[in-house]
């Protein structure tokens, strides 16, 4: 059922001033990036010139920083930014090929709204939209949506599962050729090519049809990022791209084999799900220069910020009394937040015997993602190794600061990947699906006569 792509995919994971927690303090950073459209336009066009598959935005429906105090919060430069779907709609008009993957929560949205806005973005961009399906795991978000507590982990995933089905069902409301538009006869669409969803489930009752035509890609690309058991099952059943966070090749390989192995159960082949770990690259002409650049960023982290960030993983614990140069206090066994993130950080602390300060510095930089500090060749070698070792189909590049961190990757790392034949030198497709090597899904209602007959017999 298809082959593995011979080239890797690249996404640019943009955060206002970059991924490092102190990125806004970097001398080159556009500190007002969060509400500066010219900034996003420039970095998106830069990623497009480098032939990236897509840019990616995370999202949350609250000021989610779990800082124990307002003093720490006031040092966070990423709290107040554009909303992803509106920002991407604007960016679609100033680009031609690059894809747009927007995160949107299934916990505090309604499927009709998201199906509609993603379909609209797909039309505005001529087939370049993707949806990163997440659940909301913070109390801060619950409190903005009429709840006292957020949904339990299992409920969140059950709701997400049904949510995705409703959204993809709504995208199939109209067949691709439903709109005949015959001015002469006055018939705008073919009655037989409109399908009413009539979904009635545990969490949602949605009749449909959607009031947007079927998207150019059929379905915008479905992306998933959770690494818990229900997250992996959701990905195996519905996702086409999975964003992950791994520190080591071995862990990444194990995860890659795990999720690819789950696909057959859903009648899917390994090529239908692309695994894209995050990489936080710090690039220097020499290893020493790269280390110095990293240290510059780390030196900008105020201790109150580092402790607040880490405190979130402890379930909101205030760590400010704990000595910075001693081992971190014991981790909780479980929280109702992101289980996969907690495990990652605990494993890191134990494996490397880090102090509290060292741990927050590691988290603060790439927040648990794979940090590679070195020359362009070293970074390209690592990407090649992970790609060829079946640890990754591509990478979600997380620039430490913007625009400089992305500029350096584009100028120095991308050309090496291209010289090695590992990355495209020109776009060959027009849609995000085509960039990623994903097939365009057929409409579930537009079955062939044979398929329809088979369906009737098994019903």
Binding residues: 59, 103, 153, 157, 228
Evaluate whether 431 touches 128 at the Cβ level (below 8 Å).
yes
List the one residue from 45, 58, 62, 430 that touches a copy of itself (CB under 8 A): 62
Considering only residues 96 through 115, tell me which ones interact with a copy of itself, judged by CB under 8 A: 108-110, 112-113
Least distance to a copy of itself from the beta carbon of 172, Å?
13
Considering only residues 161 through 200, tell me which ones interact with a copy of itself, judged by CB under 8 A: 174, 179, 181, 183, 186-191, 194
Considering only residues 345 through 364, tell me which ones interact with a copy of itself, judged by CB under 8 A: none
Closest CA to 303 of 110, 21, 89: 21
**Considering beta carbons, is residue 189 or 331 the nearer one to a copy of itself?**
189
Q: Please report which helix (H) or strand (E) contains residue 132, including its range.
A: strand 129-134
Least distance to a copy of itself from the beta carbon of 27, Å?
8
Specify the long-range contacts of residues 158-161, CB closer than 8 Å, at least 24 apart.
Answer: 158/202, 158/203, 158/230, 159/106, 159/107, 159/135, 159/203, 160/106, 160/107, 160/133, 160/134, 160/135, 160/234, 161/230, 161/234, 161/237, 161/238
Considering only residues 286 through 305, tell me which ones interact with a copy of itself, judged by CB under 8 A: 300, 302, 305
Is residue 267 near a copy of itself by the rule CB under 8 A?
no
- Residue 265 tokens, joined: 């159960």
Considering only residues 208 through 247, tell me which ones interact with a copy of itself, judged by CB under 8 A: 208-213
Which residues touch 80 (CB under 8 Å, ≥6 apart)?
34, 35, 63
Distance CA 200, CA 209 (A): 14
List the one residue from 35, 254, 264, 447 that touches a copy of itself (CB under 8 A): 35
Closest CA to 211 of 174, 166, 177, 186: 174
Is residue 444 near a copy of itself by the rule CB under 8 A?
no
List the one residue from 5, 45, 116, 298 that touches a copy of itself (CB under 8 A): 116
Distance CA 323, CA 329 (A): 10
Is residue 427 near a copy of itself by the rule CB under 8 A?
no
Evaluate whether 230 touches 259 at the Cβ level (below 8 Å).
no
Distance CA 47, CA 34 (A): 18
Is residue 85 near a copy of itself by the rule CB under 8 A?
yes
**Considering beta carbons, is residue 128 or 268 the nearer one to a copy of itself?**
128
Considering only residues 302 through 331, tell me which ones interact with a copy of itself, judged by CB under 8 A: 302, 305
Q: Please report which helix (H) or strand (E) contains residue 221, including its range.
A: strand 221-224
Least distance to a copy of itself from the beta carbon of 87, Å?
7
Is residue 423 near a copy of itself by the rule CB under 8 A?
no
Is residue 58 near a copy of itself by the rule CB under 8 A?
no
**Considering beta carbons, is residue 75 or 346 the nearer one to a copy of itself?**
75
Is residue 86 near a copy of itself by the rule CB under 8 A?
yes
List the one residue from 5, 45, 58, 60 that touches a copy of itself (CB under 8 A): 60
Distance CA 292, CA 294 (A): 5
List the one residue from 7, 15, 117, 244 that touches a copy of itself (CB under 8 A): 117
Q: Please report which helix (H) or strand (E) contains residue 139, including its range.
A: helix 139-142
Is residue 202 near a copy of itself by the rule CB under 8 A?
no
Considering only residues 380 through 409, tell me which ones interact with a copy of itself, judged by CB under 8 A: none
Least distance to a copy of itself from the beta carbon of 22, Å?
7
Least distance to a copy of itself from the beta carbon of 193, Å?
10
Distance CA 85, CA 100 (A): 9
- Is residue 458 helix, strand or coil? helix
Distance CA 77, CA 34 (A): 8
Least distance to a copy of itself from the beta carbon of 129, Å?
10
């Amino acid at each position: 059922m298809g082959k593995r792509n011979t080239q890797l995919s690249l996404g640019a994971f943009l955060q206002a001033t970059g991924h490092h927690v102190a990125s806004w303090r970097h001398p080159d950073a556009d500190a007002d990036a969060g509400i500066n459209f010219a900034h996003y336009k420039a970095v998106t066009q830069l990623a497009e010139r480098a032939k990236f598959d897509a840019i990616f935005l995370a999202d949350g429906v609250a000021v989610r920083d779990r800082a124990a105090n307002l003093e720490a919060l006031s040092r966070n430069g990423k709290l107040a930014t554009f909303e992803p779907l509106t920002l991407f709609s604007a960016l679609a008009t100033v680009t031609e090929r690059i894809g747009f993957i927007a995160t949107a929560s299934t916990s505090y949205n309604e499927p009709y709204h998201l199906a509609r806005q993603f379909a609209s973005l797909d039309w505005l961009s001529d087939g370049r939209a993707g949806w990163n399906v997440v659940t909301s795991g913070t109390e801060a978000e619950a409190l903005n949506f009429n709840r006292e507590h957020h949904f339990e982990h299992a409920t969140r995933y059950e709701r997400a599962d049904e949510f995705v089905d409703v959204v993809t069902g709504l995208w199939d409301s109209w067949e691709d050729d439903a709109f005949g538009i015959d001015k002469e006869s006055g018939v705008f669409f073919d009655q037989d090519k409109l399908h009413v969803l009539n979904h009635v489930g545990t969490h949602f009752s949605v009749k449909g049809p959607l009031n947007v035509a079927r998207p150019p890609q059929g379905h915008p690309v479905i992306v998933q990022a959770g690494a818990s058991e229900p997250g992996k099952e959701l990905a195996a059943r519905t996702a086409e791209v999975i964003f992950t966070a791994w520190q080591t090749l071995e862990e990444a390989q194990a995860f890659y084999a795990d999720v690819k192995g789950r696909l057959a159960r859903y009648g899917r082949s390994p090529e239908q799900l692309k695994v894209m770990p995050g990489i936080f690259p710090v690039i220097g002409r020499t290893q020493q220069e790269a280390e110095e650049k990293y240290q510059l960023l780390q030196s900008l982290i105020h201790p109150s910020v580092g402790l607040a960030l880490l405190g979130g993983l402890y379930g909101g614990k205030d760590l400010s009394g704990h000595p910075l140069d001693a081992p971190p206090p014991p981790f909780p066994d479980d929280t109702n937040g992101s289980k996969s993130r907690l495990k990652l950080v605990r494993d890191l602390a134990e494996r490397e015997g880090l102090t509290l300060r060292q741990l927050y510095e590691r988290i603060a930089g790439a927040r648990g993602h794979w940090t590679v500090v070195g020359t362009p060749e070293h970074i390209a070698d690592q990407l090649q190794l992970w790609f060829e070792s079946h640890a990754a189909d591509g990478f979600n590049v997380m620039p430490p600061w913007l625009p400089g961190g992305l500029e350096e990757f584009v100028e120095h790392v991308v050309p090496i990947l291209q010289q090695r034949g590992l990355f495209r030198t020109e776009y060959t497709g027009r849609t995000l699906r085509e960039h990623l090597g994903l097939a365009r899904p057929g409409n579930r209602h537009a079955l062939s006569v044979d398929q329809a007959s088979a369906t009737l017999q098994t019903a």
